[in-house]
């Protein structure tokens, strides 16, 4: 049995950067990007770029790249509906693009494509990389002039992590003392565990504790395997061996040097892959794999939403409303068993946000739109849920809950909501099946999380970039296979650790420790 550290509470939904195959809208080709600016400093970009708040009554077109899939026609309809509002309020119309993958986003940023707002996800230090390459516009002056509404509604704890020590270079959302991102109004605490198909749980009479252990989960998986030998008891959260981490670590941006246990006060950066907790987890997963409790091709499958097929359970982060969120994406009711108490780690404040790219022709107007996303319920609802009558309808005259229109498949409406990936889901209607006090419960959950000692820290990998690249190559060769039990850890874990050391992980840890110590000294 793996022992879990249990104390207080809550973190981050580690979300995945827009990885859908479908896109909506098309990027504007009438404007010219400034590819020569890639790598050039954009300090003061907001003052130098054209098309600010003063635009002589002309309507400005803003290109917005959001996250998640949507059909082109549907996406354009949503953009048109938003434009009807924004033309009057801030003098802009919208071109909306969704479904761009990481490669497309990187290409757009490097080529200087004129994009005014772009969603990113801070997996493996993406915000740091974006800032380091000067792809993002500085926000301090823009927020002060055009974003006061947003500052009033953003969760104070998360906002504080972005501005508490504005002179330091390592604060979340800030680099070199400059603000580049704002926190979304989503789950900012983490309580990881397993989601399981409710129909199978009910049929087998399985008692699922709200807070359990890996031993509890082993017994459940074994019972399911005996009753349904052709079913996959445990499947990836997403294609290719994806899973939500269930150990209470602070990855400090990229897992190359972590705080092993956020529930204690230690600030020693250690090699995650050489910790006792990681070894025990890999040993457990190898045992489960050998006993047939894990999908055989978990590390290579190209399928997503495996619970909608022949899977029973998967690793997940939990938050209030997670069960409904899963139902919307898989069509299966689930029950959840947590194995880690809520906590917060470093990337909580900038884990999935927007930036204003350096190539934006209209940064002031982009900030005004961003402010509306936080403060205007109609604008926010259109971005998140789409068109009333086509993508959703009210369930009754109270206009509290919405659902998909009759005859519309909730998993194929033409416009996926991905509500957590937009600035403020909390000013939009609730989906049918959600608890009426969901937003209150979500905020309580966020506040309950035990904060990592490094909460608010942002890792700048630039001083050891070569070592990071080399170590990531090593991680890709071992980590997914080990954590899904596809490799014997007794044989392969020592090789993994040795190769990481040869690739320079100790240099990474030393540099990360130096930056973290500097950050912590600035908090005193």
Of the given ranges (214-218, 302-306, 310-314, 331-335), which has the lowest mean pLDDT? 302-306
Instruction: Assign 103 a pLDDT band (cuts: 50, 70, 90).
Output: confident
Report the CATH fold assignment for 12-188+347-450: D-Maltodextrin-Binding Protein; domain 2 (3.40.190)
Instruction: Assign 7 a pLDDT band (cuts: 50, 70, 90).
Output: very low
Of the given ranges (57-61, 281-285, 366-370, 475-479), which has the lowest mean pLDDT? 57-61
Determine the pLDDT at residue 352. Answer: 66
Beta-strand relationship, 92-97 and 174-175: unpaired
pLDDT for 292 beyond 80 = yes
- Output the DSSP codes for 370-420: HHHHHH-HHHHHHHHH--BTTTBEESSTT--EEEPPTT--TT-SSB---GG
Determine the pLDDT at residue 127. Answer: 74
Of the given ranges (23-37, 108-122, 145-159), which has the lowest mean pLDDT? 23-37
Residue 305 exposure: Cα atoms within 13 Å on the Cβ side:
12
In whole angstroms, give the CA distance from residue 313 to residue 394. Answer: 32
Of the given ranges (4-18, 159-173, 277-291, 440-454), which has the lowest mean pLDDT? 4-18
User: Helix, strand or coil for residue 64?
Assistant: strand
Determine the pLDDT at residue 269. Answer: 98
Of the given ranges (91-100, 184-193, 409-418, 514-523), which has the lowest mean pLDDT? 409-418
Tokens in use for 349? Answer: 């404040």
Q: What are phi and psi for residue 302, nearest 5 degrees?
A: -100, 5
Judge whether 18 and 98 are in contact, CB under 8 Å.
yes
Judge whether 344 and 189 are in contact, CB under 8 Å.
yes
**Distance of CA 332 to CAs 142, 212, 231, 325, Å?**
43, 22, 15, 10
Instruction: Assign 290 a pLDDT band (cuts: 50, 70, 90).
Output: very high
Distance of CA 501 to the CA centre of its chain: 29
In whole angstroms, give the CA distance from residue 125 to residue 458. Answer: 8
Determine the pLDDT at residue 462. Answer: 85
β-partners of residue 424 are 185
Instruction: Assign 4 a pLDDT band (cuts: 50, 70, 90).
Output: very low
Residue 185 exposure: Cα atoms within 13 Å on the Cβ side:
25
**Average pLDDT value over all residues in the chain:** 84
β-partners of residue 353 are 120
Instruction: Assign 345 a pLDDT band (cuts: 50, 70, 90).
Output: confident
Of the given ranges (49-63, 197-211, 231-245, 499-513), which has the lowest mean pLDDT? 49-63
Which has the higher per-residue pLDDT, 301 or 409? 301
Residues 9-48 have pLDDT tens digits of: 222 223 333 333 334 543 333 333 333 333 333 433 333 3
Q: Measuring CA to CA, which residue among 299, 302, 267, 301 is closest to residue 286?
A: 299
Residues 80-91 have pLDDT tens digits of: 999 999 999 999
Tokens in use for 279? Answer: 């070894």
Instruction: Assign 350 a pLDDT band (cuts: 50, 70, 90).
Output: low
**Apex 102 CA angle, 194 and 506, nearest 5:** 70
Other CB atoms within a 10 A radius of the CB of residue 176 amount to: 14
Residue range(s) in the chain whose domain bears CATH number 3.40.190.10: 12-188+347-450, 191-343
Beta-strand relationship, 232-234 and 311-318: parallel
pLDDT for 161 beyond 70 = no
Q: CATH homologous superfamily of domain 191-343?
A: Periplasmic binding protein-like II (3.40.190.10)
Give the residue-averaged pLDDT of 417-421.
86
In whole angstroms, give the CA distance from residue 444 to residue 448. Answer: 6
Strongest mean pLDDT among 67-71, 133-137, 375-379: 375-379
């Amino acid at each position: 049995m793996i022992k879990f550290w249990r104390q207080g509470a809550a973190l981050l939904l580690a979300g995945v950067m827009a990885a859908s195959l479908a896109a909506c809208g098309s990027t504007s080709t009438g404007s010219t990007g400034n590819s020569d600016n890639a790598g050039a400093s954009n300090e003061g970009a907001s003052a130098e770029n054209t098309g600010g708040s003063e635009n002589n009554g002309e309507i400005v077109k803003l290109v917005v790249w959001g996250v998640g899939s949507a059909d082109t026609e549907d996406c354009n309809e949503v953009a048109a509906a938003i434009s009807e509002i924004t033309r009057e309020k801030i003098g802009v119309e919208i071109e909306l693009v969704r479904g761009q993958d990481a490669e497309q986003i990187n290409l757009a940023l490097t080529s200087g494509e004129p994009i005014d707002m772009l969603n990113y996800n801070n997996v493996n230090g993406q915000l740091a990389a974006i800032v380091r390459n000067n792809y993002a516009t500085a926000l301090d002056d823009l927020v002060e002039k055009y974003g006061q509404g947003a500052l009033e509604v953003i969760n104070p704890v998360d906002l504080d992590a972005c501005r508490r020590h504005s002179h330091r270079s390592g604060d979340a959302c800030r680099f070199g003392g400059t603000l580049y991102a704002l926190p979304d109004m989503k789950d900012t605490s983490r309580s990881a565990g397993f989601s399981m198909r409710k129909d199978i749980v009910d049929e087998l009479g399985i008692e699922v504790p709200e807070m359990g252990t890996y031993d509890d989960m082993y017994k459940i998986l074994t019972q399911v395997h005996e009753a349904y030998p052709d079913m996959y008891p445990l499947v990836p959260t997403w294609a290719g061996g994806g899973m939500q981490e269930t150990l209470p670590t602070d990855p400090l941006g990229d897992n190359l040097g972590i705080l092993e246990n956020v529930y204690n006060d230690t600030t020693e950066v250690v090699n995650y892959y050489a910790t006792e907790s990681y070894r025990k987890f890999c040993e457990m997963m190898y045992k489960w794999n050998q006993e047939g409790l894990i999908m055989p091709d978990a590390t290579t499958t190209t399928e997503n939403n495996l619970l909608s097929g022949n899977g029973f359970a998967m690793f997940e982060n939990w938050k209030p409303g997670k069960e409904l969120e899963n139902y919307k994406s898989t069509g299966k009711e689930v029950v959840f068993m947590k194995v880690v108490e809520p906590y917060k780690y470093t990337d909580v404040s900038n884990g999935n946000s927007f930036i204003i790219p350096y190539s934006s022709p209209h940064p002031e107007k982009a900030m005004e739109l961003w402010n509306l996303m936080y403060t205007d319920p109609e604008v926010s609802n259109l971005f998140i849920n789409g068109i009333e009558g086509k993508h959703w309808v009210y369930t009754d005259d109270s206009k509290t809950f919405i659902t998909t229109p009759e005859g519309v498949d909730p998993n194929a409406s033409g416009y996926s909501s991905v509500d957590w990936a937009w600035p403020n889901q909390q000013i939009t209607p609730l989906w049918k099946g959600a608890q009426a006090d969901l937003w209150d419960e979500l905020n309580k959950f966020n506040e309950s999380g035990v904060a990592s000692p490094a909460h608010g820290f942002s890792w700048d990998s630039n001083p050891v970039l070569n070592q990071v690249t080399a170590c990531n190559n090593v991680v890709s060769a071992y980590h997914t296979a080990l954590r899904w039990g596809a490799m014997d850890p007794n044989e392969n874990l020592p090789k993994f650790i040795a190769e990481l050391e040869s690739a320079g992980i100790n240099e990474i840890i030393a540099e990360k420790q130096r930056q973290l110590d500097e950050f912590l000294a600035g908090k005193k």
